[in-house]
Amino acid sequence: MHCKVSLLDDTVYECVVEKHAKGQDLLKRVCEHLNLLEEDYFGLAIWDNATSKTWLDSAKEIKKQVRGVPWNFTFNVKFYPPDPAQLTEDITRYYLCLQLRQDIVSGRLPCSFATLALLGSYTIQSELGDYDPELHGADYVSDFKLAPNQTKELEEKVMELHKSYRSMTPAQADLEFLENAKKLSMYGVDLHKAKDLEGVDIILGVCSSGLLVYKEKLRINRFPWPKVLKISYKRSSFFIKIRPGEQEQYESTIGFKLPSYRAAKKLWKVCVEHHTFFRLTSTDTIPKSKFLALGSKFRYSGRTQAQTRQASALIDRPAPHFERTASKRASRSLDGAAAVEPADRSPRPTSAPAIAPSPAAEGGVPGAPVKKAQKETVQVEVKQEEAPPEDAEPEPSEAWKPPLVKTQTVTISDTANAVKSEIPTKDVPIVHTETKTITYEAAQTDDSNGDLDPGVLLTAQTITSETTSSTTTTQITKTVKGGISETRIEKRIVITGDADIDHDQVLVQAIKEAKEQHPDMSVTKVVVHQETEISEE
């Protein structure tokens, strides 16, 4: 079968696939054509109309999902990474930039005038390089589409900003673009029209952090994934069950009305996929249903964000060359410039992450000036999902619930001569327990010699100690910003046990010990989170 795929750089990729080919077969061919390694963030879309699309299911045959010939798709970003600096390759960031440029021009990603000018200037720098009066005319910015309603005033501001940049490589321009774009309120939000139970028009948005509710272009509610116990739909109604708050005794269920049964099912699928991709460490560990059941057996079949980071970190390949949208930039491809100018690939410093980070997060990319951070014991909680029901029609109701809890301890030691990794895992039985998490942060500044570049990560340590009833994880991060050294300490204490433990006393003792250990530092934040887990029969 003949396929046409519209790409993000406005070119079209055409190929012939076997008539029983699945969605993943075509997606893989497109990513190979683009030389993309981190393909799991992308997908192939079928557009129902100018504003509504359906994602091609990778696990199903293409012919069962499309009508007519040739088969027409668009290649788009499906999962927008919350921190683009964590992406392994510059080519991935470039295609994310292309997607966001489309989102801005189409109006899907609203921006203020100042933000449009700033992002536009980074786009021009990425495509054309430094301003050169001999090469660039008086209105060279007008050749680019940067905003839905582009004005002369905006173009003049873009040129003013662009002319101020000196020796900024394409990769740096892309990263600056993404660092600003990711802060926008509608970044990576998949929108679905709906009504509340009173019939008022609203918009439901799905993103990496959870489910959002908008009314008249203002966000009126947010349901983070950790608070969502179950999502389901029945006919054209969509429901979410919310975990009770600290002052509440029972769970609450909130319902919404979608335009049709198909729209409710589409929203449900998007929620399942986003939760799985961003919240789980692996799709391989999702248990299959033990009982035959009517209804949907749909599950996200690709890799999670954690899995794609691990996979790309294991592959060592030269930085791929690729051509930019503007032909003037073909000789200075993004990764070619990165290889010449090392600062190109250095990310902003971050505190030590809770899971094994990608090389981009640690400055492990060749040529980055950030010193390699030494990681010690890190404890993470692994959430596993029950198999959500799949696609048999008609379905009386679809439901998905989060899961049993496993505790996984990951130990990574990294020295100049050797790298070793140990991953012991043990199951923890689900019992009636209460857990409080205490977060302690302190910050200190003192004068430095100022020889290092601003924002350079010096060290990042994570130290974990355990007793029979608690686990203490201390993260110490030292950075240099603007010539000033900054030490940040975050202590996370998880106390697990039954009602016999005096949690308040443990909290008081933890704060007291923190002040004694670091008398010259101040406690800036204490967060207490309490959960109750009930064993399942």
Residues in the chain: 537
pLDDT computed for residue 313 by the predictor? 82
Instruction: Report how far residue 203's alpha carbon sits from residue 213's, in angstroms, rounded to the nearest whole number.
Output: 6
At 455, list the tokens: 């924002």
Alpha carbon 236 to chain centroid distance?
29
Confirm if 349 and 455 have CB atoms less than 8 A apart. yes
pLDDT computed for residue 349 by the predictor? 33
Q: String of b and e for 233-264 (b: at least 16 CB within 10 Å)?
A: beebbbbbbbbeeeeeeeeeeeebbbeebebb
Nearest to 271 by CA among 314, 321, 233, 316: 233
pLDDT computed for residue 13 by the predictor? 96
All residues at 6 or more sequence positions from 481 whose CB lies less than 8 Å from its CB, including other chains: 454, 455
Instruction: Report how far residue 73's alpha carbon sits from residue 75's, in angstroms, rounded to the nearest whole number.
Output: 7
Strand order in the sheet with 470-481: 456-466, 470-481, 484-497, 433-447, 522-533
Q: What is the pLDDT along the chain (537 residues), one digit of tens a residue?
A: 899 999 999 999 999 999 899 999 999 999 999 999 999 999 999 987 777 889 999 999 999 998 877 889 999 999 999 999 999 999 999 999 999 999 999 999 999 999 999 999 999 999 999 999 988 988 899 989 999 999 999 999 999 999 999 999 999 999 999 999 999 999 999 999 999 989 999 999 999 999 999 998 899 999 999 999 999 999 999 999 998 887 777 889 999 999 999 999 999 999 999 999 999 888 765 555 443 333 456 677 788 999 988 888 888 888 887 888 764 454 334 444 333 333 343 333 333 333 333 333 333 333 333 333 333 323 333 333 333 343 437 444 456 665 443 333 333 333 333 333 333 333 434 443 344 444 444 444 444 444 444 456 666 666 666 665 667 777 777 777 666 777 778 777 776 655 556 666 767 777 777 767 766 676 666 666 665 554 443
Nearest to 84 by CA among 462, 389, 286, 360: 360
Instruction: Report how far residue 461's alpha carbon sits from residue 353's, in angstroms, rounded to the nearest whole number.
Output: 10
At 492, list the tokens: 């996370």
pLDDT computed for residue 131 by the predictor? 94
Instruction: Report how far residue 437's alpha carbon sits from residue 429's, in angstroms, rounded to the nearest whole number.
Output: 20
Cβ atoms < 10 Å from Cβ of 104: 23
Confirm if 165 and 171 have CB atoms less than 8 A apart. no
Give the predicted TM-score (pTM) of the model: 0.63
- SS3 state at 426: strand
> Which residue reads 């449900």 in tokens?
268
φ/ψ of residue 160, rounded to 5: -60, -45
Instruction: Report how far residue 421's alpha carbon sits from residue 341's, in angstroms, rounded to the nearest whole number.
Output: 32
Confirm if 93 and 84 have CB atoms less than 8 A apart. yes
